[in-house]
Amino acid sequence: MTNNSRVAILMGSDSDWDRLKPCAATLREHGEEPIVRVLSAHRTPEETADFATNARANGICAIICAAGGAAHLAGVVAAHTTLPVIGVPLDNPPMDGMDSLLATVQMPGGVPVATVGAGRGGPVNAALLALRIIGVADADTAARMDDFKSAQRDRVLAKDAGLQENLEN
């Protein structure tokens, strides 16, 4: 485990890693080296609970959990920690992610899981949400998020200017 990692990415299966690489890449772009683990709510429940229970003591500030199908990983983690848990529902067949979305978002009162969208944007948004959470208490991370938001704005305005120019021709 990396000593200075403040964000953990947990996935229910190693087959989920390809879809979570953009999450890790986004964190790294903004100066956070994540802890990345395969832990299953159903197949490794003790290890999952142990990770969640000890996360704060290990310096973790936010835990991103991605799973498809029954997608209980985020809920199990949230049951064992008071840290922010961000659920990433994966869009697997046969229900194209609707099952994992509902399993992740429909948590009982008192066990919160912040849930991002299924699909390509979900892992990136999970990383950005984790960074914003860290930014509440870390001015450097907050400044990186401000810079990111400004860069997004500049890219969109440049695209709009290019479109307007093409429309005039």
* 153 and 80 within one domain: no
Question: Do 158 and 98 lie in a common domain?
Answer: no
Bridge partners (DSSP) of residue 103 are none
* Same-domain status, 17 and 90: yes
DSSP 74-99: HHHHHHT-SS-EEEEE---TTTTTHH
Number of structural domains (the chain) is 2
Same domain for 88 and 162, yes or no, is: no
pLDDT at site 141: 97
pLDDT at 93: 80
At 4 the pLDDT is 81
User: Same structural domain for residues 110 and 146?
Assistant: no
> Radius of gyration of the chain from Cα atoms?
17
d(CA 29, CA 164): 31
Residue at 110 is within a domain: yes
Whether the CA torsion 127, 133, 137, 140 is positive or negative: it is: positive
Beta pairing class for 114-115 and 7-11: unpaired
Q: Which residues lie across from 65 on neighbouring strands?
A: 10, 87
Q: Name residue, tokens 């930014």.
A: 135
Asked whether residue 29 falls in the same domain as residue 91, the answer is yes
Same domain, 121 and 70: yes
Residue 18 placed within a domain:
yes
Per-residue CA distances from 120 to 21, 40, 46, 117 (Å): 11, 22, 30, 8
- Domain containing 30 — which CATH number? 3.40.50.1970
Residue 1 has a pLDDT of 44
Is 23 a member of any domain?
A: yes
Give, as one character, the DSSP assignment of residue 40.
-
- Same domain flag for 127 and 154: no
Give domain status of residue 2, yes or no.
no
Average pLDDT per consecutive 10 residues, the chain (169 residues; last block may be shorter): 81 96 98 98 97 98 94 97 98 84 92 94 98 98 97 98 92
Q: Could you list the residue range(s) of the whole structural domain that residue 25 is in?
A: 7-137
* 159 shares its domain with 132: no
Has residue 1 been placed in a domain?
A: no
pLDDT reported for residue 142: 97
In a shared domain, residues 78 and 64: yes
